[in-house]
Amino acid sequence: AANWAVKTRAYAGVAEMLDGLDRRSVRMAVLSNKPHVFTVQCVDEFLRGWRFDVVLGSGGGFPNKPDPAAALHIAKVLKLDPGQCAYVGDTGTDMQTATAAGMFAAGALWGYRTREELVEAGAKVLLGSPSELLAL
Residue 2's pLDDT band, with cuts at 50, 70 and 90, is confident
pLDDT of residue 3: 85
Q: How far apart are CA 102 and CA 81, in angstroms?
A: 9
pLDDT digits (tens, 9 = 90+) for 41-52: 999 999 999 999
pLDDT of residue 108: 98
In a 13 Å sphere around the CA of 104, the CA atoms on its Cβ side amount to 12
Average pLDDT, the chain: 96
Q: Is 15 exposed, middle or buried (0-12, 13-18, 19+ CB in 10 A)?
A: middle
pLDDT of residue 4: 82
Residue 17's pLDDT band, with cuts at 50, 70 and 90, is very high
Q: Is 130 exposed, middle or buried (0-12, 13-18, 19+ CB in 10 A)?
A: buried
Q: Quick count: other Cβ atoms within 10 Å of Cβ 89?
A: 23
pLDDT digits (tens, 9 = 90+) for 70-104: 999 999 999 999 999 999 999 999 999 999 999 99
